[in-house]
Structure 1
Amino acid sequence: MKTSRRSFLQKTTRNGLAILSTGSLTANVIDQAKLNTDQAEDLYANTLPIKADHVVRSLPENMVWGYFGADVPPVYKVKDGDVVEIQTVNPSGVSRTNPEEFYTKNNLPLDQHAQEVITIMKNVKPEPSGIRGHMLTGPVYIDGAQPGDSMEIRILDMTFPAPFGVNSVWPGGGGIPDEVKTRETFVYRYDSKHKMASLKEGVEIPLKPFMGVMALSPPADLGRQSSIPPNFFGGNLDIKHLTKGSTLHLPVSVPGGLFTTGDGHGAQGNGEVSGVAIETAITLTVKFIVHKGKALKQPRAETSTHFIAVGLDKDLNKAMKMALSEACAFIKDELGFTFNEALSIASTAVDFEVSQVVDQTLGVHAMIPKSIFTKKKFDYWS
């Protein structure tokens, strides 16, 4: 396998926040980013790089702007069980007409990653019918996946190819749209030694990266779908617990599944109430596992400590009811309890959190703790 540019960066400093030891790019990154050795340390110190079977680079030909669809041709084909590195960008704050301006205005380096973003913004076209959404990488075709199966997506690693992220507020956006009078963009700069993002002196947000968007294709009869509202096939779930070491399960609707991802987040509070999180580029490494004949109605997720059930609806009350129904169904069907027992367990031990309230279709997720089931042993990969 040919080593990607970002794989080299990650091996050089054990992270995507990298300074090359040789070459003209070194001076550019050091001078413009003013990163010191401590800042270049790995966000996940003492972990070895994960060897990927494939690398999907963040090149214009590998990007799709804002939508999913069964007719979107895959940019890469992998096998069931393969480990895949997927490079993403997050051009929040960057305009199509003058993408360079964002970097110069905010004293950010016009390094190789920035040049990739600029090239993508100048060359990737929005969906012709007017569908709008996130800048995404994919889709990736997983050999063997067929409708009626489910896809297990193990999140093995996440690294930052750029040392900053962006949050914004704007009139008409977020959870209190009428109260926002002016648009403003905030650049959060990363301190990887302390695993923090700084808005300004005295405000440091712990970095907890995750992908806002991870999706399989919708069924062909739904046509192309915007990446903004989440749905049963995944998409813009914005569940902050889907970090390194977590697992997402999605229903397969089309041959190959067609996995697409983007909308990386450096950190997010439940609700994502300004309309966005700390929007950031992330290099995602995942393992795809096809579960034949394991049909799902809604996304499910798992961490080393919790099972996660998901509810989605334009009405937050209905999203809550769906999350509760899904949690009860999981406890009943997967863990072997009656429905009434499952509802009792949900009422006494399960936390229901609002994922986000800003993406048209709203999200609630149920956090089911594994620790309460003392007679059961749950094997987990991470």
Structure 2
Amino acid sequence: MSDPGHHTLHSIHKGHVHHGWNNAFPPALTIAPGDSIEFETLDASSGQLNRSSTAADLEKLDLARVNPVTGPVFIDGAKPGDALKVTVLSLRPSGWGWTGNIPGFGLLTDQFPKARLHHWNYDPALLPAMYGPGGRVPLRPFTGTIGVAPAEPGLHSIIPPRNVGGNMDARDIAEGCELYLPIEVEGAIFSVGDTHAAQGDGEVCGTAIESPIDVALKFELVKGANLRMPRYVTRGPVTDHFDKKGYEVTTGIGPDLMAGARMAVSEMIDLLSKRYGYEPIDAYMLCSVCADLRISSIVDVPNWVVSYYFPRIVLE
């Protein structure tokens, strides 16, 4: 513990992971507001996959062990109704990751029912990572799962995000970001994991570049904030790693946003397959790590417009 005038950097080893949220989990560490922690993380498979794994290993994945998070951390003085301010100080990537099409999981699971696994070996200095016939994906690491324990007792699945954060897969919770989480239990009970080297907004196949990454975070309290949902502040541009050469954009138009998202992604898969020679399943997985879903129009009843932006820098 640190005194009020001196803030400490702690560390939590990747051995301190848990699966699911539970406000009764004993803390791995107790800290004071203002302290920082470096977390070691496991990949989203909890170490079930490694550099030599195959699609057959992906099919055998124990889904009860996916999305491990490192922690939990008890923050002294945190009370229900406060907000936990988490500043992302740094992310140190490992150089290896994977993207998988997991049967039964993803936006187009009905179209892509078979397991597929792609390994990424990248330069931790954040040069682009290679994919398929000539694709080069710019990397921008972030924390996929980051949150605090819910007030409701018992064990809760880690897969769905919730009002106290968790598996938000929000690409912009990256270095420099300031995240504010609603606190529902004493001590907040914070954990982080599911780190990604790159992802498109939407993470459409269900996985990004799933990669073990060490994360340094600073913790502060905002007393009586009474947030209903997480909010965050970015410290600069959020798409400049993709913007350099412009975008290919497909759309889905109709009365249902989910159907529109599915159509926009299907159209992009069709474009990439026909123009660049990707297998449709590989185009789908590539989209998941670099292309962004956007709601372009949601007021012109009865039809809404969903657009899908694929960065041309990946293919040029």
TM-score of the alignment, normalized to the shorter chain, above 0.5: yes
1:157 to 90, 93, 114: 90
> What is the CA distance between 1:103 and its match in structure 2?
3.5
In the alignment, which residue of structure 2 is the partner of 1:41? none
Taking the aligned partners of 2:8 and 2:206, their CA distance within structure 1 comes to: 33
> What is the CA distance between 1:92 and its match in structure 2?
3.1
- Contact persistence 1:163–1:189 (CA under 8 A): yes
- Contact persistence 2:51–2:119 (CA under 8 A): no
1:140 to 73, 82, 86: 73
Is it true that 1:63 corresponds to 2:17 in the alignment? yes
Taking the aligned partners of 2:125 and 2:195, their CA distance within structure 1 comes to: 20
Q: In the TM superposition, what are the counterparts of 1:105-184 in structure 2 within 5 Å? A: 133-160=66-93, 162-184=94-116
CA displacement, residues 113-171 of structure 1 (integer Å, 9 cap, x when unaligned): xxxxxxxxxxxxx9xxx9664111111111111111001000010011x2111000133
CA displacement, residues 293-315 of structure 1 (integer Å, 9 cap, x when unaligned): 111000001012489xxxxxxx9
Taking the aligned partners of 1:250 and 1:93, their CA distance within structure 2 comes to: 25
In the alignment, which residue of structure 2 is the partner of 1:82? 35
Taking the aligned partners of 2:293 and 2:45, their CA distance within structure 1 comes to: 29
Residues 64, 316 of structure 1: alpha-carbon distance in 2 compared, 3 angstrom cutoff: farther
Taking the aligned partners of 2:126 and 2:47, their CA distance within structure 1 comes to: 27
In the alignment, which residue of structure 1 is the partner of 2:181? 250
CA displacement, residues 308-341 of structure 1 (integer Å, 9 cap, x when unaligned): xxxxxxx968xxxxxxxxxxxxxxxxxxxxxxxx
- Contact persistence 1:92–1:166 (CA under 8 A): no
Higher mean displacement: 221-230 or 208-217:
221-230
Residues 170, 267 of structure 1: alpha-carbon distance in 2 compared, 3 angstrom cutoff: same
Taking the aligned partners of 2:9 and 2:139, their CA distance within structure 1 comes to: 27
Taking the aligned partners of 1:261 and 1:94, their CA distance within structure 2 comes to: 16
Is it true that 1:214 corresponds to 2:170 in the alignment? no
- Contact persistence 2:128–2:139 (CA under 8 A): yes
**1:63 partner letter:** V
In the alignment, which residue of structure 1 is the partner of 2:249? none
- Contact persistence 2:45–2:67 (CA under 8 A): no
In the alignment, which residue of structure 2 is the partner of 1:72? 25
CA displacement, residues 168-209 of structure 1 (integer Å, 9 cap, x when unaligned): 013322111111142110001103456211124511111110
Give the structure, 1 or 2, with the largest relative contact order (CA under 8 Å, sep 6 or more).
2
- Contact persistence 2:46–2:67 (CA under 8 A): no
Taking the aligned partners of 2:191 and 2:17, their CA distance within structure 1 comes to: 9
Taking the aligned partners of 1:52 and 1:199, their CA distance within structure 2 comes to: 40
Taking the aligned partners of 2:40 and 2:108, their CA distance within structure 1 comes to: 33
Taking the aligned partners of 1:104 and 1:305, their CA distance within structure 2 comes to: 37
Is it true that 1:277 corresponds to 2:208 in the alignment? yes
Q: Which TM-score applies when normalising by structure 2?
A: 0.67
Residues 300, 200 of structure 1: alpha-carbon distance in 2 compared, 3 angstrom cutoff: same
In the alignment, which residue of structure 2 is the partner of 1:44? none
Q: CA RMSD in A?
A: 2.8
- Contact persistence 2:44–2:66 (CA under 8 A): no
**1:85 partner letter:** E
Residues 173, 157 of structure 1: alpha-carbon distance in 2 compared, 3 angstrom cutoff: same
- Contact persistence 2:202–2:293 (CA under 8 A): no
Taking the aligned partners of 1:302 and 1:230, their CA distance within structure 2 comes to: 19
Q: What's the secondary structure of 1:289's corresponding residue? A: strand
> What is the CA distance between 1:236 and its match in structure 2?
0.5
2:137 to 200, 205, 218: 205
Residues 217, 93 of structure 1: alpha-carbon distance in 2 compared, 3 angstrom cutoff: closer
**1:140 partner letter:** V
Q: What's the secondary structure of 2:122's corresponding residue? A: strand
In the alignment, which residue of structure 1 is the partner of 2:162? 231
